[in-house]
Chains A and B, each alone.
Chain A
C-alpha cells in the first residue's frame, strides 16, 4: 500500500460517490420488491418494504434505547481502575 500518499477513500468526493452508490442500492432493494415474489408468512410482512423500514426503525429505536440506558449507567472508563489503584 502507498503509505504516505492519500488513499482513494480519503478524498471527500469519492466518499460522496460511495454515499450515492449506497443510496442507489438501497432504492434498488426496495424497487426489486415489485419483481420478486416474497411469500409473506405473517400479515405484517406483506406491508410494502417491510424489512427496509422495520430494519431502519428498530435500529433507531435500539440506538435511542442504548443512549437512554447510558444516561443511567455510563461512567468514565477509569471507574474501576481508579478505585483499585487506591486500594493497592
Chain B
C-alpha cells in the first residue's frame, strides 16, 4: 500500500452490507449518502497506483487511478445515487443493498489495475445483480435469474481461463492493452463480450433485465454492460473485429425492439443497441473514437436509467408491462411522460441532449477514418434508435390510443430521481465541456455546428415520419420474438430431457439389478451362515476328529511322495 486512499468501491460494498439493518430516515439518508461518499472518494483519486500487493508471484494493483478509470467510476457512483433515490420507496430490504454491492463492484472493476482484482470484482458484480433479480421475489424472476447466472458463470469461467493463460504466458497480471495473438487473449475478449451483450449470447440481457422489480431494472441497466465497455476500451482498443460485432449489436437491438411488446424489454434491447455504438467506437480505436465510446457510456447510463425509471413508474402504478395494454398515460402522469420523453430524445441523440454530444464523437471517428460503410451503417442505426426507442417507447406507453387508465404520478422520491436525471440529460447536452474534459484523451471537436445540427434534425425527423407512416405495421401484438435464449430454454432442454430420462431409467435399472443381486447374495449368505445355516451350526467333536484324521493322513501321504 503506497497511500492511505480509501477504495470507493469497497466503501460502497461494505456500507451496503450494513443497509439491511437500518430503518426509516436513517436508511434513506444512508442510501443517498453512501454513493455520494463513493463519488467524493473517486474524485480524490490521483493518477497512478494507490494500492499494491504481492500475491503468489504476481503484483496486484487493486486500486489505481487515471482519467478513463475515474470517468467510469464517477458515472457508476452517480448512477448509484440516482438509482438509490429512485428506489427509496422499494419495499424489498435487500434490493438496494444488493444493487450497491453491484455498483461498488463495478467501481472496483473500473479502478482495478490488474486482471485478478478485475476478475474478483467482475464476479462480485454477477452476485450483486443476481440478488437484485431475486429480490423481486416471484417465480418468473427467479427462473430468469438462474438463466442469467448460468450465462454469466460461463462467461466468468471463460474470462478466468483467459486471465490464467495470460498470466502464465506473460508472467504479469497487469491490465494493459492486449492483442488477439493468443488463445488466452481471445478468451479474455470473449469473457468481456459476454457481459457487453454481444452475440451470440446477447439474449441473456433482454431475458433477465425486464424481470427485475420496477427499481431493480434501473440498476441492472447500468453496470454490467458498461463495465464490459470499460474493460474493452482498456484491453482491446482498435480491434477491428469489434467494429463488426458492434454493428451487429446495433441492428439486432433495433430489429428486436421494433417487434417487442413489453415496454422494459424494448429498452433492454436498446441497451444492446447502444452498447453496440460503443463497441464500434472501441473497434475503430482512434482517440476520437475511444473518447466517443467512453462519453457515450457515460451519457447512456443516465438516459437509459431515466427511460427505465419512467417505465418502472408506470409498472409500479399500473402493474402492467405490455404496450398493448398501455397508452394515454400522459393524461394523468404528465411528469413521468415528460421525463420519459427527455430520456427518449437523449437516446436518439437529439440536439441539446446528452446523446447528441456523445454519439457524434463515434460517428465523427468513422468519418475521420474515411470508413464510408461503417459511417452509413451508424447513421442508419442512429435513425433506427429514434424509431425503436425515441418514438416507439413513449408513443406506445404514454400516447397512442387511450387505454382509459388514469394512474397517479409515482411517489416523490421517484419523481425527484427522474427530474435529477432529466436535468443531467439536458445539462450535458448543453454544457458538454465538463464531460469532454473528463474523457481519456483531449477533445478537439465541436458538436454544435449548423451542418451537424441540421443533418441530425433531418435524419431524426424523417425517421419520425417513417414511424408514423408505417404505424400500422408497428402495432403491438401479444407476441415475443425468438432469440438465442431459445437454445438454452428450448433446444438444450429438448435434447437434455430425453438424455436425462434415459440416464434416470438406466440408473434405476442398474440400481434395481444391483438390489436383486445383493438380495440374492444376502439370502445365500443367510442360508449358509444364518441360524439354520450349515456353516454357522455347531459342529460335533466327532466330526472335528474325523477332519483332523483326514488332514493327518494327507500329511503322511505327502511326506512319502
Identify the A interface with B (CB < 8 A).
Answer: 1, 3, 7, 9-10, 22, 25-26, 29-30, 32-33, 36-39, 41-42, 44-45, 49-56, 58-63, 65-67, 69-70, 73-77, 79-81, 83-84
A-B contact list, 10 entries, CB within 8 Å: A26-B462, A36-B451, A52-B458, A55-B466, A59-B466, A60-B470, A61-B380, A66-B254, A75-B480, A77-B479
Interface of chain B residues 166 through 213 with chain A (CB within 8 A): none
Whole-angstrom distance between the Cβ of A65 and the nearest chain B Cβ: 6
Residues of A within 8 A of B254 (CB): 62, 66
* Contact among A38, A76, A80, A84 for B478, CB-based, below 8 A: A76
Whole-angstrom distance between the Cβ of A45 and the nearest chain B Cβ: 8
Do B402 and A10 touch across chains, with their CB atoms under 8 A apart?
yes
Residues of A within 8 A of B380 (CB): 54, 58, 61-62
Query: Is B551 close to A, CB under 8 A?
Result: no
Of B19-27, B44-52, B230-238, B327-335, the segment with at least 4 beta carbons within 8 Å of chain A is B327-335
Do A76 and B473 touch across chains, with their CB atoms under 8 A apart?
no
Whole-angstrom distance between the Cβ of A83 and the nearest chain B Cβ: 8
Known: A3-B406, A25-B461. A58 touches B383 (CB 8 A): yes
Determine the main DSSP class of B at the interface with A.
helix
Report Cα–Cα, A42/B371, bound state, in Å: 9
Do B258 and A3 touch across chains, with their CB atoms under 8 A apart?
no
* Contact among A22, A42, A52, A75 for B459, CB-based, below 8 A: A52
Residues of B within 8 A of A65 (CB): 255
Identify the B interface with A (CB < 8 A).
Answer: 140, 143, 251, 254-256, 258-259, 261-262, 322, 330-332, 334, 367, 372, 375-376, 379-380, 383-384, 387, 399, 402, 406, 450-451, 454-467, 470, 473-474, 477-483, 489-490
Report Cα–Cα, A3/B328, bound state, in Å: 12
Known: A26-B462, A51-B458. A62 touches B479 (CB 8 A): no
Residues of B within 8 A of A62 (CB): 251, 254-255, 258, 380, 383-384, 387
Residues of B within 8 A of A66 (CB): 254-256, 258-259
Do A53 and B255 touch across chains, with their CB atoms under 8 A apart?
no
Residues of B within 8 A of A44 (CB): 372, 376
Do B379 and A1 touch across chains, with their CB atoms under 8 A apart?
no
Residues of B within 8 A of A54 (CB): 379-380, 383, 459
Residues of B within 8 A of A51 (CB): 379, 454-456, 458-459, 462
Residues of A within 8 A of B251 (CB): 62
Report Cα–Cα, A38/B465, bound state, in Å: 23
Residue of B nearest to A65 (CB): B255
Do B383 and A33 touch across chains, with their CB atoms under 8 A apart?
no
Report Cα–Cα, A51/B466, bound state, in Å: 13
Known: A29-B461, A63-B474, A74-B259. A3 touches B332 (CB 8 A): yes
Q: Which 7 A-B pairs have the closest CB atoms?
A: A59-B466, A58-B380, A51-B458, A55-B459, A51-B455, A56-B462, A55-B383
Residues of A within 8 A of B332 (CB): 1, 3
Residues of B within 8 A of A1 (CB): 331-332, 334
Report Cα–Cα, A80/B483, bound state, in Å: 12
Do B450 and A63 touch across chains, with their CB atoms under 8 A apart?
no
Do B473 and A7 touch across chains, with their CB atoms under 8 A apart?
no
Report Cα–Cα, A21/B463, bound state, in Å: 16
Do A36 and B384 touch across chains, with their CB atoms under 8 A apart?
no
Residues of B within 8 A of A69 (CB): 255, 259, 481
Residues of B within 8 A of A80 (CB): 480, 489-490
Whole-angstrom distance between the Cβ of B378 and the nearest chain A Cβ: 11
Do A55 and B470 touch across chains, with their CB atoms under 8 A apart?
no
Report Cα–Cα, A48/B347, bound state, in Å: 27
